[in-house]
Structure 1
Amino acid sequence: MRVRIATILSAVVLSFFALGYWMGGEDTAEPLAWQERYNDALWVPLKERQLELGTLERTLGEGRLWLISADDQPLLVSRYGLQSDGQAWRVQAVVELNAEQMDSLVQAQAWQPGQHDQPLSPAVGEALAAQAISRLSLIPAEAVDVEQIQATFGNPDMRLEVAEGEAWVYPKAGVVIAVTGEQAHSVMYGLQGGL
């Protein structure tokens, strides 16, 4: 009789542990799907400084070039839309230009510091297809839970306090993530060197 009761109690206790483990597994955050999907096509070449605008266009689809003002300096960026992980993401790539190329573009567009973002002709993108990309930023339509960031990249090597929250830094991956509280607002690839 005692053996039977002990067996039943053991079975009940094990069932509770199994149920708890199963329920805990349901809450485990999934890694961001675009990280693995674009690893070979985008993140590795970017880290090796071999990603070109033309490759980005072929990988993400047609984008749009913009001449923007960044701290009152001209900056050429290409913008794309991406659907992943149940929401829309805005992707912005910084296109590297030498001083002569930038001066020519600034003159052609009559760009002035503080000016609104200016869209450029698709012909400009075709002409600059071999230009290197220095940074890529992904901005979700809705903030992402930091558990999903940790499931994707692990724990950050550094956490730096910034004006609005923290910057989670992953030097080996070349990634910086803007975090406020328990939410991530952007992921930037292209961190070069140490901080």
Structure 2
Amino acid sequence: MANNIGTGYKRVGGRIMWNSDNYQTGAMVVQNWTNPNSSSWQLFDRKMASIGGKDVVKAIMVQICILSQRATDQELRDMVNAARQHVNPGTHIYIVGQPVYNEGHDCFIAGAGGADWTDMKAQELANDPSVNENMSYLGKFILNNDAGEVSDGCHASSPKGENVLGEQAKAFFGG
């Protein structure tokens, strides 16, 4: 779902956040990101290098994406700690949940209430002084399934839903 945000962000002219070109993180959930040596983090490192490396990137967005069994609090902390190992000290982390949906719609992959749970957990982590060094809650991404912004019950449609997410990212980042 972060891939949907990055794709839409580039399409609507966003210039601050990196785009998702050659950064195929689809189907990766929290558990893929808890081990700092995982293939997910190797992909992250390649993307980071392709845009100039750690010295160029001053902030990253970490998204809590889950399956219906969700993630434990320890897994969430491990994911944030792994992120810190792949950026320079002082790099800001913007934490977000996966997109939430219009009332009455749930993502079948995340399960009933799962998307809202990820947003709540992102806010909790951002407010937890034991883990939130240089980290803040970016905001809530929202998709409207009834307006054709969702393609498969969970992911943003292309281009409409991706563009909606991209515009929201532009609003959060200021450009």
Superposition TM-score tier, normalisation by shorter sequence? under 0.3
Higher relative CO (Cα under 8 Å, sequence separation at least 6) belongs to: 2
With the length of structure 1 as denominator, give the TM-score of the two structures: 0.23
Bigger share in strand: 1
With the length of structure 2 as denominator, give the TM-score of the two structures: 0.25
- Which one has a bigger Cα radius of gyration? 1
